[in-house]
Amino acid sequence: MSENIGQNIAEEKELTEVLKVRREKLAVLRENGEDPFKITKFDRTDKIDDIRENYDKYEGKIVTVAGRMMSKRVMGKMSFADLRDGSNRIQLCVKRDEMGEEEYKKYKKLDIGDMIGVTGEVFKTQKGEMSIRTSSITLLSKSLRPLPEKFHGLTNTDLRYRQRYVDLIMNPEVKRTFEIRSKIMTAIRNYLDSRGYMEVETPILNTIPGGANARPFITHHNTLDIDMYLRIAPELYLKRLIVGGFEKVYEMGRLFRNEGMDIKHNPEFTTIELYEAYTDYVGMMNLTEDMIKTVAEQILGTTKITYQGVEIDLGSPWRRISMIDAIKEYSGADFSTVADAAEAKALAESIGIEVDEENGPLSKGEIISLAFEEKVEENLIQPTFITEYPVEISPLAKRMPSNPEFTERFEVFITGREYGNAFSELNDPIDQKDRFVKQVEKREAGDEEAGMMDEDYVNALEYGLPPTGGLGIGIDRLVMLLTDSSSIRDVLLFPTMKPLEK
């Protein structure tokens, strides 16, 4: 322990000295009228990636590029450096005789991490390294902090998430993840736009946290003097638009849930929700499968991927199985034979499930859902639609005509995780109000995740919601899947973190 403490103290002392030296360099530049922070613009002629991809076109050509100096190797009258812009990296060949004595001295005083502009001739070294024979260098921004030598591979991933800007500088593969994320979101939008869906925006500040069961974030509106909630789902607003006459709508954006954090959950996250009139949950199943296959093919060039060492086939027809049948397959328990909550509890306990009723008795449907979570979910590695959810856990889904205790709802699972949730939307205003009442009763009994009564939404349903299919997909989890990322924090540029002083 004492050795580690001593090492940390030595590292802090060394860093303090480096910071001091770099600020002294800046002070000298300013005294000489060369303050880099006063430069407002630099005209580039080319990006490095274009030069690398089209060398035959650029060989012998004079170019002006700009970026961050990632390394520097001074060898007397000749030096080399690596320059990286937002597209790629290239070697700089710097010679004193070509730049001049004074300019070469200025170059030698540059630090790794400095932002520079470079003009020179494109060529290849004898070893075949694509380079720029540098004729001039302009300091565009001084790096007052040193870049870490080995940022990648640090066991302290907390630092990478807190200082994402350094993570992006040092690890090109991290930047690549977020480039893929952007392309995935664009591909989803293009898919839906091409099928006649319209992108819309609904309120993030809500007077009622509706559309899902989750604990909301609460704030206060001073002018109106009312408590408001960051939205936990846009569902009820989007279905109001279907009532109003739009037939295909979607919204991609942030949701906020004041709940636990782990490798699958962040308090704010991105989803897409879409609604289509005159279809049902089967139509949403078909759309979900086709959309994810299409996006994977466009972005990755294949529908066969590997996630954390496990091969996943997105291209084959996705399995479809009811929740009851899935529980029976993986545990042997047949919940279709139970008549009430007491029998469901006894059956669940017989297969080793602890039914916790400390906060009140669970319904038959809630116990069935618990059995599914504990006995089935982790086994659903290949794409699988789980259908026919109990009505007690599906307050916004339409009942199955053949069995009113269950709903026309599905969730899609891949790698043992849920990626999407959809149903034939409940459009009976009387049934909907009754279910809201039951949610309110649960909330009054202490369930902070239970929904509230939304009288205006019931009012909208009374004007008539056509048969409608609705779908929500977690964008962050989909990005995790398609980039082989183990944690949701790896696909969020700035994940929620506790302040260091806390």
The whole-angstrom separation of Cα 2 and Cα 266 is 36
- Give residue 152's pLDDT: 45
Say what the alpha-carbon torsion angle 390, 392, 397, 401 is, to the nearest 10 degrees. Answer: 60
Taking the C-alpha atoms of residue 70 and residue 142, their distance in angstroms, rounded to an integer, is 13
The separation between CA 185 and the C-alpha centre of its own chain, rounded to angstroms, equals 10
Q: Could you read off the pLDDT of 288-306 as tens digits, one per residue?
A: 999 999 999 999 999 999 9
pLDDT for 443 equals: 85
How much of the chain exceeds pLDDT 70, in percent?
96
* pLDDT 10s digits, 348-364: 999 999 998 877 899 99
Tokens matching residue 410 = 């599905």
Q: What is the mean pLDDT of residues 138-143?
A: 98
Q: Which residues pair with 310 in a beta bridge?
A: 307
Mode of pairing for the β-strands spanning 78-84 and 62-75: antiparallel
Average pLDDT across the chain, whole number:
94
pLDDT band per the 50, 70, 90 thresholds, residue 155: very low
Residues 472, 269 contacting (CB under 8 angstroms)? no
> How far is the C-alpha of 119 from the C-alpha of 134, rounded, in Å?
6
Nearest Cα to Cα of residue 394 among 420, 432, 357: 432
Residue 394 in 3-state DSSP?
Answer: coil
Residue 2 scores a pLDDT above 70: no
Mean pLDDT for 487-494 is 96
- Say if residues 299 and 187 touch (Cβ distance below 8 Å): yes
Q: What is the pLDDT of residue 202?
A: 98
Q: Given this model, what pLDDT does residue 8 score?
A: 56
Check whether 282 has a pLDDT greater than 60: yes
Using 50, 70 and 90 to split pLDDT, how confident is the model at 501?
confident
pLDDT digits (tens, 9 = 90+) for 215-267: 999 999 999 999 999 999 999 999 999 999 999 999 999 999 999 999 999 99
State the amino acid at position 39 in one-letter form.
Answer: I
Among 291, 302, 305, 213, smallest CA distance to 252 is for 291
pLDDT reported for residue 212: 86
Distance CA(285)–CA(386), nearest Å, equals 10
The sign of the dihedral angle between the CA atoms of 425, 430, 434, 437 is positive
> Residues of 190-225 as b/e, b for ≥16 C-beta within 10 angstroms?
ebbeeeebeeeebeeebebbbbbbbbbbeeeeeeee
Dihedrals phi, psi of 218, to nearest 5 degrees: -115, 135
Mean pLDDT of all residues in 8-32: 85
- Please give the pLDDT value at position 358: 78
Q: Is the pLDDT of residue 388 over 80?
A: yes
Match 């199985």 to its residue by tokens: 321
Question: What is the pTM assigned to this prediction?
Answer: 0.91
Ramachandran region of residue 209, left (φ > 0), alpha (ψ -120 to 50) or beta?
Answer: beta
CA distance linking residue 230 with residue 218, whole number of Å: 7
Phi and psi at residue 496, to the nearest 5°: -65, 130
CB-count burial class (<10 Å; 0-12, 13-18, 19+) for 34:
middle
What SS3 state is found at 229?
Answer: strand
- Determine the pLDDT at residue 485: 97
Residue 5: the pLDDT is: 52
The predicted pLDDT at position 446 comes to: 82
Determine the pLDDT at residue 448. 80
| Sequence-separated (6 or more) residues with CB below 8 Å from residue 113 | 68, 69, 70, 143, 145, 146, 147, 169
d(CA 415, CA 421): 16
- Per-residue pLDDT, averaged over 180-187, amounts to 98
State pLDDT tens for residues 401-459.
Answer: 999 999 999 999 999 999 999 999 999 999 999 999 988 888 888 888 888 899 999 99
C-alpha–C-alpha distance, residues 189 and 185, integer Å: 6
**Residue 176: its pLDDT value, please?**
95
Return the bridge partners of 471, or none.
274, 422
153: pLDDT confidence band, cut at 50, 70 and 90?
very low
Residue 7: left (phi > 0), alpha (psi -120 to 50), or beta?
A: alpha
**Geometric angle at alpha carbon 61, from 58 and 62, rounded to 5°:** 130
In the predicted structure, residue 72 carries a pLDDT above the cut 70:
yes
Half-sphere exposure (Cβ direction) of 345: Cα atoms closer than 13 Å: 9
